[in-house]
Amino acid sequence: MAMSHHLLLLLALLSVLVLPTSSAASASTLTQSSSSTISGDQTLASPGNAFQLGLFSASNHSKWFLGIWFTVSPDTVVWVANRDRPLNTSSGVLRVSDRGALVLADGATTNATVVWSSSSSSSSSDSPGAGAVAELRDTGNLVLTDAAGAVVWQSFEHPTNTFLPEMRVGKSLKTGAEWSLSSWRAADDPSPGDFRYVMAAPPGGAPELHVWRGARKTYRTGPWNGVRFSGIPEMTTFENMFQFQFTDTADEVSYMFRNRDGSPMSRVLLNESGVMQRMVWDNASAAWSNFWSGPRDQCDAYGRCGAFGVCNVVDAFVCACIRGFAPASEAQWYMRNTSGGCARSTALQCGDGDGFYLLRGVKLPDTHNTSVDAGATLEECGRRCLADCACTAYSAADIRGGGGCIQWFGDLMDTRYVDGGQDLYVRLAKSELDAAKRTRKFAAGITLVVAGFTLLLLSLAFLVWRKARRSKKVTIADDAAELMSGECPTYPPGVIRTATNGFCADNVIGRGGFGIVYKGQLPDGQQVAVKKLSSENTVQGLNEFINEVVLIAKLQHRNLVRLLGCCAHSSSERMLVYEYMSNKSLDAFIFDERRRASLSWKTRLDIILGIARGVLYLHQDSRLNIIHRDLKAANVLLDADMVAKISDFGIARLFTTTADRQETITKTIIGTYGYMAPEYAMDGTVSFMQDVYSFGVLLLEIVSGRKNHRSFNLIAYAWGLWEGGRSQDVLDAAIRGGCTGAELAQAAACVQVALLCVQECPSQRPPMADVIPMLSQQKAPVPRPRRPVVCTPVTGHPAAAALAVQAVREMVTCGSTELTITTLEGR
Ligand SMILES: *[C@@H]1O[C@H](CO)[C@@H](O)[C@H](O)[C@H]1NC(C)=O
Ligand SMILES: *[C@@H]1O[C@H](CO)[C@@H](O)[C@H](O)[C@H]1NC(C)=O
Ligand SMILES: *[C@@H]1O[C@H](CO)[C@@H](O)[C@H](O)[C@H]1NC(C)=O
Ligand SMILES: *[C@@H]1O[C@H](CO)[C@@H](O)[C@H](O)[C@H]1NC(C)=O
Ligand SMILES: *[C@@H]1O[C@H](CO)[C@@H](O)[C@H](O)[C@H]1NC(C)=O
Ligand SMILES: *[C@@H]1O[C@H](CO)[C@@H](O)[C@H](O)[C@H]1NC(C)=O
Ligand SMILES: *[C@@H]1O[C@H](CO)[C@@H](O)[C@H](O)[C@H]1NC(C)=O
């Protein structure tokens, strides 16, 4: 029943959009000559014939419109003139009037009704008069110029539902003109629908793009941060196809994109459901494919978690309150009505009684009540925010230099966690921050217990904890120093300062999880990488710092990056010193258009085996049985000989422990989206198999040179090819041609192993000890993988969601919860 209904609807939709397929036109311009008109099935073609302008019908030929469409795809109408006043028949005629306006009339006679004219939508009231010419350009822009060639009107300044390269969305602050999109009412009805895509430019604040449905905001991109929109970090991965440009001057606030040379045709559409869809033309199949769309998930729905809430898609409960806040209405909140948001637990003291909590990795909140100073430093920003009692948060305005200052006033709305998100400093009363520190210290202690450390460390942790309770004057650095003494050699701060030229900006080689990484040279000439923790970053940073020191100092393996020493002199100077890796990280190779080709299959296989050996060592060969938990291309470094070394042990084996919700949330999002095992993303189950899953994804990425992310499901892609007996095609096209038959077979074997590693059920994944013989083809036969779970949205699993609700209930009633930890299996 339902199916036939859908089928009918589809047929109806297909039949209503009937567009001219052939055309009699060749010209690209219209003049004022009486014979120069467009009517019937005539079209105007752009000089390179990329676009055509003409009449098309909708609603079963009952309505006619003047539009512009792609020549290769006549169904794809990108602009419509008479959206509000359709013609009843195909008798429309477009001409340039004597007064120099583009006019669409219901017939050729002089008394015919004019249904649309460029002069009615033109901001300048002067008519160009004689000599006006209309031209359809190859960008898809219909441009009307006067006799002197000056542009009088252009369709790009009156967008409909489609955003094309070179077109601007935004507003002119000089003329007041606004360039925004509005959706069609329905697939066969171009009249303006419910949704609009507009630039919000609060005076003095940070501009951002919004989608509105009537008077309700439904989606935000987040403010521009110098490189991309705060809420769309994946934009940086589109850089090789598109060039993005954001203008924020006294005259104009606008956003546009261009296609890079050689990129396929593209367009951005605000569709009838209010979704921004970026489509690219696939020449091979002669069809549009969806490249990206937003809102992407439920956390992109505006205000999903209310004021001072923070949304997290991989958490079963989705919404949490920012630290220092609690649900405004607990009853509503636990019934999953989170729109009421969160309220501050402890009132702000204003002035010195307040501090800042660092919320990391987020899409910055709604900027409607913000102020921006592009010239201020982040430190200055913090001082200003503290000095203004109305300021509730601040952040860097430009991530390139980490400078600039955005201050928020009033509620923090629509904050969410996002991979590659930004740091937001949220103002809290100092007493809340102290409470946070105590919880963290306790958690650090528990971590050590769970990790199964020696009795010595256990009692040390206890000492630290007791000491912290006894005396609040104890600084975090003292704790760290105590924990670390004996763990690794320490360097005097002066030596590190000299080695890095006084932490000179020129020496910065990266920004890691919790600080900046500098290149340096020790007095004996050895090159080192120095990771310096940011000083604001006391609480979470310390946890990861201790974790990393304690773990990595005990590990030594050719495929693990080596910690040479540390330096924890004062709370503002906590540093880790590593061996320097001259070839940086693996992601800089495999995801780079040019460098990728330089990575031969042999090198790739060596890297794969190196990573596998490193992980095996962590899992069973070292004394500690460690789960890394954040294996990804960015955490694999390459030395001068391209030997792979696993790095970043900041979150290895840190388990969720307490009933503190914030704790659960922040721990749950630990890890990286595309690499996260489903059982971990769903209910936080931690096991060695979690690393095996991440390794599988990484393996596919190294073989294919493609990144697994939201808009490209690498696992599904590899499965499709493997299932079709074409696993060799997974191999990166940049090197495939130069491979021997034996090498292609090796690559195909790697794909099969990778698919085994990403099985949904952890027990079906091979342990790391089996992976290496499989990869080197010493263990035959390799089992056949089952169809992997390629997509597990948390909400798509009612059972899981129900479980999660139950877990939350238990937490609320018992005040504690435990995670399934299946770590201590055979070694
Ligand atoms: C389209 O119009 C024709 C006649 O004008 C009519 O017979 C047909 O049923 C209509 N189709 C739809 C889907 O409305
Ligand atoms: C089309 O027909 C409707 C009603 O039949 C009428 O109100 C409208 O003015 C017509 N439009 C044009 C452009 O003639
Ligand atoms: C428009 O003018 C033509 C003659 O030029 C005439 O035949 C026609 O009836 C007129 N139509 C209207 C709607 O006045
Ligand atoms: C709008 O785009 C989304 C995402 O691509 C898609 O799921 C939805 O069906 C589209 N809506 C319409 C009306 O085409
Ligand atoms: C797209 O395909 C057509 C024919 O299939 C070909 O002529 C054209 O060169 C192709 N364009 C690109 C950019 O590959
Ligand atoms: C959700 O909670 C808000 C207050 O927090 C309330 O006004 C609203 O009616 C609730 N909605 C539903 C569907 O219960
Ligand atoms: C901005 O926030 C301040 C402080 O909460 C408030 O007084 C003011 O009304 C807000 N302005 C707007 C436009 O929301």
- 506 & 360 share domain: no
Task: Answer yes or no: is the C-beta of 113 below 6 A from any ligand 2 atom.
Answer: yes
Task: Answer yes or no: is the C-beta of 343 below 6 A from any ligand 6 atom.
Answer: no
- 415 & 505 share domain: no
- 569 & 592 share domain: no
- 600 & 690 share domain: yes
Band of residue 576 on the pLDDT scale cut at 50, 70, 90 = confident
Query: Which pLDDT belongs to residue 495?
Result: 81
- 492 & 603 share domain: no
Could you report the per-residue pLDDT of 245-257, keeping only the tens digit for each? 999 999 999 999 9
| 76 assigned to some structural domain | yes
- The rounded Å distance from CA 87 to ligand 3 centre is 17
Is pLDDT at 467 greater than 60 in this prediction? no
Residue nearest to atom 5 of ligand 6 (CA): 340
- The rounded Å distance from CA 44 to ligand 6 centre is 54
Q: Is 467 marked as binding a ligand? A: no
Domain end point (choices 435, 463, 494): 435
Which atom of ligand 7 is nearest to 369's Cα? 1
Least confident of 38-47, 118-127, 279-288, 468-477: 468-477
- The rounded Å distance from CA 85 to ligand 2 centre is 8
Domain end point (choices 296, 319, 350): 296
Which atom of ligand 4 is nearest to 290's Cα? 5
Band of residue 596 on the pLDDT scale cut at 50, 70, 90 = confident
Task: Answer yes or no: is the C-beta of 106 below 6 A from any ligand 2 atom.
Answer: yes
Task: Provide the phi-psi class of 561: left if phi over 0, else alpha when psi is between -120 and 50, else beta.
Answer: beta
- 690 & 761 share domain: yes
- 130 & 190 share domain: no
- 88 & 170 share domain: no
Could you report the per-residue pLDDT of 354-369, keeping only the tens digit for each? 999 999 889 999 999 9
Mean pLDDT of the chain, nearest integer: 80
Q: How many CB atoms lie within 10 A of CB 419?
A: 14
Pocket test for ligand 3, best of 111, 113, 114, 115 (most atoms within 8 A of CB): 111
- 653 & 702 share domain: yes
Could you report the per-residue pLDDT of 296-324, keeping only the tens digit for each? 999 999 999 999 999 988 776 789 999 99
Q: What is the pTM of this model?
A: 0.59
Q: Residue 4: CB partners within 8 Å, gap ≥ 6? A: none
Q: What is the DSSP letter of 765?
A: S
Which position among 106, 354, 414, 630 bears the catalytic label?
630
Could you report the per-residue pLDDT of 384-393, keeping only the tens digit for each? 999 999 999 9
CB 37 within 8 A of CB 30: yes
414 catalytically annotated = no
Query: Which pLDDT belongs to residue 490?
Result: 75
Q: What are the strands of the beta sheet with 189-200, ordered from one edge?
A: 181-186, 189-200, 208-213, 216-220
Query: Which pLDDT belongs to residue 1?
Result: 41
| 441 assigned to some structural domain | no
Rounded Cα distance between 708 and 691, Å, is 16
- 606 & 719 share domain: yes
| 1 assigned to some structural domain | no
Task: Answer yes or no: is the C-beta of 277 below 6 A from any ligand 4 atom.
Answer: yes
Band of residue 9 on the pLDDT scale cut at 50, 70, 90 = very low
Could you report the per-residue pLDDT of 484-539, keeping only the tens digit for each? 555 556 777 788 888 888 888 888 887 765 678 888 888 877 888 888 876 655 56
Which is more confident, 379 or 23?
379
Which is more confident, 14 or 542?
542
Could you report the per-residue pLDDT of 411-451, keeping only the tens digit for each? 999 999 988 889 999 999 998 887 766 655 555 444 444 44
| 465 assigned to some structural domain | no
Could you report the per-residue pLDDT of 676-688, keeping only the tens digit for each? 887 777 767 777 8
Domain end point (choices 273, 296, 319): 296
| 30 assigned to some structural domain | yes
- 690 & 800 share domain: yes
Pocket test for ligand 2, best of 88, 104, 114 (most atoms within 8 A of CB): 88
Q: Which residues pair with 570 in a beta bridge?
A: 573
CATH number, domain containing residue 259:
2.90.10.10
| 11 assigned to some structural domain | no
Q: Which ligand is nearest to the CA of 12?
A: 1
Could you report the per-residue pLDDT of 125-182, keeping only the tens digit for each? 556 677 889 999 999 999 999 888 899 999 999 999 999 999 999 999 999 999 999 9
Enclosing domain of residue 195: 159-296
Task: Quote the number of domains for the chain.
Answer: 5
- The rounded Å distance from CA 23 to ligand 4 centre is 31
CATH number, domain containing residue 495:
3.30.200.20
| 629 assigned to some structural domain | yes
Could you report the per-residue pLDDT of 202-260, keeping only the tens digit for each? 999 999 999 999 999 999 999 999 999 999 988 888 888 899 999 999 999 999 999 99
- 620 & 765 share domain: yes
- 548 φ, ψ (degrees, to nearest 5): -65, -45
Could you report the per-residue pLDDT of 183-192, keeping only the tens digit for each? 999 999 999 9
Band of residue 409 on the pLDDT scale cut at 50, 70, 90 = very high
- The rounded Å distance from CA 64 to ligand 3 centre is 21
| 145 assigned to some structural domain | yes
